[in-house]
Structure 1
């Protein structure tokens, strides 16, 4: 099953991806969060909710973490975007005047920007309105190549092989001269004030997806970067619907409506046959975007205070219901009656993501391609009890993974079965015994084949779910005689260490920003070491398959190459792919039009609040 449409149909059937109203009799379905028109506002409309992991900053050229990118997507704009209600995912122009012109060989893309779009006001512009131009996109893409910014997403553009930019970067790295933003290169240039062109060395049939990610290719004004320099992470200035007005690092962010945002109206097209989305579209059609004046974001890492804050009405939205509260809030995956009576709605949907643990392939114990090293990773993978993890630590809100490519992306095969999805302690022990990982001294713990002590360091975080997962890891590894030590740090600190190759193992999530499985195969590509490829896996056979599938149009030939690459990741096991998550979000009755499209991070501009209901609940 290789099309996003087919994958969506499969998940709808098997995971009951339905709205709260679908779980209820018709007479109970009224409080669906879309049926009540908002009352006249007496003050700014405010949306409050919490991230469960801290952000790192707000510069498209410097961040890769999910939560920073969510904020960026509302401040900056890429030329394209995904339609909010469309199923399957569908691109449309954002700041572009029309869909880009693509050459027949998928090597040249010409993009025309709509005139009259302006950046938010900022002192960098000297008090004058600043219009968005094609040069802003050329400059913003070049910034990823500038060694000064250490872009963690550079690998995406390097893989695309934009002509001339790698050479420009090499000159800067060699210290011959600073990165030259003014030099025109063959692969990235403006044709006129509103038109720019990208030329690639190899075909890239899906390159346009990159131009729909505002947190990656969003337009940054050169004046802003030059004014704030190394502090640019604190001063995001874009053309999007919101601007950042307050940032207390790892604690609180406040965004307010960008008064310079152009006149955009709600005009979303729901999929045929979806009554809930049709009702949302009908109610909000024609409304000016954004509808909410202010977004207040908190960082609440522990699940209990996040859950209680939502129940008390302090939060308008609970994104990703904590697993331990699923039995209380959604018993049998149905909204609990006590929440329904309050008008709260649930929104349950699969994520195009993978929860995984990576092995540092350059580490002398868990890395390497020798048979004994591969056997150790395979044994560890077999010892991991994913069904218990899903039941205990994930509250049943996930399905076991068989491979790296997640549902809802092109290349996912729901019929695929592999060792990645097995839990078999007997096989794990047999592999360890066969390759010499035995308990030589009788203390209950295995030694390395050469007799040296063996202990594996696993990075973790101090939040409750991470502690639960660490306990399960400890139990699983103890059952096969492997000692594990846990190194706890804040998530941003672990990310920095992981990118530098300093961690032995770490468990993270990896989510798709586009409906294509390349996102997950990129985890194993040797050219991505230190960015997407935290495992630092580098296998020539895999690299060749990855590069091949990247240049092929969607079809049987590409599917075959992706399947072979997937099988190599399973065989060498640089990653233990645990599961694919299912999210359940809960929304207060005054949040209007709430919906989640997993490829649209900036959902804020598409929702509204009823301030009268909101104020009444908080009195």
Structure 2
């Protein structure tokens, strides 16, 4: 075979053209993957929205699923915005009918459950997702919360399924929740619900799920979340590591926000990221590290891009006088310190024979224990100033919070605690230095806790407080997911945990004492008719001073009976590596991953 000069020249030209065409693709392939890495201090429980009640699992699901509404990432105070909805809802003047029109062309992530076809989310999916919470088979901890919204016909549908062996009838249409057409869902409520919009704005638990997915995976649904959100679950090593990747079929969404005019930090973020296609990162890797020291050291070593809530143990070194330490500032580390919309508390099981009950001597015991616990010592010593004493249940950054309010909940009074115990017969009858029950039996409080260092320091403060009044405290170490299950089942005497506000409304926290939420939000199983009346009353009231007074009165009842001792509101100091761009803590929203970027030019060079 002979090759001519003309043939060689032509081949050379074709190769050059092919190289030019391939060059952009080669460059794109060489672009480093943007990965967000950080750690949770507590293990997850799973990823089915209907079955969740813990913060860390809900962070995952909030980034996989979408609700009808969400929150503007930068707006302060918090502002609701449409997500799956096409605009804000039409709300009747009596706050009993909410009509939502949905956006067209939004699809669930690809999954075998859809048989190879793209699956659009519709109004019927919203109806199905809400019904799932009420299905007894879901064993949802969210039932009482949804029941309180008084969606017409929904509670009755659940009662029918609870009768005998009947299955929940998903195909039965109810007046209170209907798909008027493919893209319009309407809610009708039995009572006024001025804040129902907040219920529609929590993707972590109210995100849209597809019936085909639930039916395909059955009891394994906690392992197979399929949503319309920006991320998909890639790998799950239970209580160890969770990996999520960008949803390749995610719709075109672009960074948009309304930061407050006076918020310079938010304004700067918006100026930098406005108009960027979301999500900006490709992958999220979450480790579970319950001990604060390795979590902190991993961040310092650059293994993690951020640390949410700097462990209190390291506050004096990392943020002396609440300012970023010079050595960290030199590394380009950033920080944000804000009061959190949360409470840390201890509950007493009202069914427990030692600490429960409503008789005067039982109330006196709980109040004495509450008076003996120093929120100030916990905040100052164990938490290194990263908290403030809580005076009640209402959380900072919520609508009814009053920073000047004071109550016995925030009072530390050892003399009064001892006097109460003496008055009601809790004395040291055998001379061993510890008080006994009025009938002479041992008085031992059993408190379930974790082994992590930050828990140990808080528990040490509590034990010293109770030692000072002659009450013996036994600490029982366990794992958080198991403790949560046992708590819901009413098996614990005392347990401590935190609660974060999922909306700007103050009253959600009162579900901790509402009898309709036994075994769900109400872990203590407290029951008081007057409290329940006030709880129901505030739900139908518009925001304002009158409602604030009702909420405060309900809180006073809880303070008087003390089924829960609220200890502190945390102050969160989040720290970010110099290559993490755009992070700003939102008081309610959990779905921040899509709003942050990784500046790969600033990443440490691999040796």
TM-score range, shorter chain: over 0.9
1:41–1:611: 8 Å Cα contact kept in structure 2? Answer: no
* Alignment partner, residue 75 of structure 1: 64
TM-superposed CA distance for 1:257, in Å, is 0.4
- CA distance, structure 2, for counterparts of residue 40 and residue 392 of structure 1: 51
Match of 2:276 among 272, 280, 287: 287
2:78–2:587: 8 Å Cα contact kept in structure 1? Answer: no
TM-superposed CA distance for 1:474, in Å, is 1.7
The answer to whether residue 155 in structure 2 is matched with residue 144 in structure 1 is: no
TM-superposed CA distance for 1:612, in Å, is 2.6
* Alignment partner, residue 408 of structure 2: 419
Match of 1:574 among 556, 563, 579: 563
TM-superposed CA distance for 1:40, in Å, is 11
- CA distance, structure 2, for counterparts of residue 151 and residue 41 of structure 1: 45
TM-superposed CA distance for 1:262, in Å, is 0.6
Which aligned runs of 4 or more in structure 1 are off by greater than 6 angstroms? none
* Alignment partner, residue 26 of structure 1: none
Q: Name the SS for the 1:61 alignment partner.
A: helix
- How do 1:432-443 and structure 2 match up within 5 A? 432-443=421-432
Q: Name the SS for the 2:357 alignment partner.
A: coil
- CA distance, structure 2, for counterparts of residue 160 and residue 408 of structure 1: 23
* Alignment partner, residue 318 of structure 1: 307
Q: CA RMSD in A?
A: 1.2
- CA distance, structure 1, for counterparts of residue 268 and residue 424 of structure 2: 61
TM-superposed CA distance for 1:176, in Å, is 4.8
- How do 1:88-167 and structure 2 match up within 5 A? 88-167=77-156
The answer to whether residue 346 in structure 2 is matched with residue 346 in structure 1 is: no
- CA distance, structure 2, for counterparts of residue 83 and residue 160 of structure 1: 24
For 1:436-470, what per-residue CA distance to the aligned partner results, in whole angstroms no more than 9, with x for missing partners?
11111111111111111111111111211222222
For 1:355-393, what per-residue CA distance to the aligned partner results, in whole angstroms no more than 9, with x for missing partners?
000011111111111111111011001111222211222
TM-score after normalising by structure 1? 0.92
Which deviates more from structure 2 when the two are superposed, residues 387-396 or residues 329-338?
387-396
* Alignment partner, residue 223 of structure 2: 234
- CA distance, structure 2, for counterparts of residue 553 and residue 270 of structure 1: 26
TM-superposed CA distance for 1:573, in Å, is 0.7
- CA distance, structure 2, for counterparts of residue 41 and residue 592 of structure 1: 21
- CA distance, structure 1, for counterparts of residue 328 and residue 472 of structure 2: 44
Match of 1:550 among 526, 536, 539: 539
TM-superposed CA distance for 1:67, in Å, is 0.3
* Alignment partner, residue 32 of structure 1: none
Q: Name the SS for the 2:503 alignment partner.
A: coil
Q: Name the SS for the 1:269 alignment partner.
A: coil
Q: Which has the higher contact order (CA 8 A, sep 6+)?
A: 1
1:210–1:216: 8 Å Cα contact kept in structure 2? Answer: no
* Alignment partner, residue 588 of structure 1: 577
- CA distance, structure 2, for counterparts of residue 362 and residue 408 of structure 1: 33
TM-superposed CA distance for 1:65, in Å, is 0.4
For 1:55-102, what per-residue CA distance to the aligned partner results, in whole angstroms no more than 9, with x for missing partners?
000001101100000000000000001100001111110110011111
For 1:252-295, what per-residue CA distance to the aligned partner results, in whole angstroms no more than 9, with x for missing partners?
00010001111011111211122221111011111000000000
TM-superposed CA distance for 1:615, in Å, is 4.2
2:383–2:458: 8 Å Cα contact kept in structure 1? Answer: no
1:42–1:611: 8 Å Cα contact kept in structure 2? Answer: no
Q: Name the SS for the 2:549 alignment partner.
A: helix
- CA distance, structure 2, for counterparts of residue 308 and residue 557 of structure 1: 49
- How do 1:118-517 and structure 2 match up within 5 A? 118-517=107-506
Q: Name the SS for the 1:270 alignment partner.
A: coil
Per the alignment, do residues 364 and 45 of structure 1 end up closer, same or farther by CA in structure 2, a change over 3 Å counting? same
- CA distance, structure 2, for counterparts of residue 557 and residue 336 of structure 1: 45
The unaligned stretches of length 5 or more in structure 1 are: 1-38
2:313–2:454: 8 Å Cα contact kept in structure 1? Answer: no
Q: Name the SS for the 1:132 alignment partner.
A: coil
- CA distance, structure 2, for counterparts of residue 171 and residue 99 of structure 1: 34
TM-score after normalising by structure 2? 0.94
- CA distance, structure 1, for counterparts of residue 411 and residue 34 of structure 2: 49
For 1:25-80, what per-residue CA distance to the aligned partner results, in whole angstroms no more than 9, with x for missing partners?
xxxxxxxxxxxxxx997221101000000000000110110000000000000000
Which deviates more from structure 2 when the two are superposed, residues 432-441 or residues 461-470?
461-470
Q: Name the SS for the 1:238 alignment partner.
A: coil
Q: Name the SS for the 1:585 alignment partner.
A: strand
- CA distance, structure 1, for counterparts of residue 292 and residue 156 of structure 2: 47
2:579–2:603: 8 Å Cα contact kept in structure 1? Answer: yes
Say which one has the larger Rg: 2
Q: Name the SS for the 2:536 alignment partner.
A: helix
* Alignment partner, residue 56 of structure 1: 45
- CA distance, structure 1, for counterparts of residue 446 and residue 380 of structure 2: 25
* Alignment partner, residue 13 of structure 1: none
TM-superposed CA distance for 1:557, in Å, is 2.0
2:161–2:168: 8 Å Cα contact kept in structure 1? Answer: yes
- How do 1:32-43 and structure 2 match up within 5 A? 42-43=31-32
For 1:562-604, what per-residue CA distance to the aligned partner results, in whole angstroms no more than 9, with x for missing partners?
1110111111111100000000011000001111112121111
TM-superposed CA distance for 1:175, in Å, is 2.1
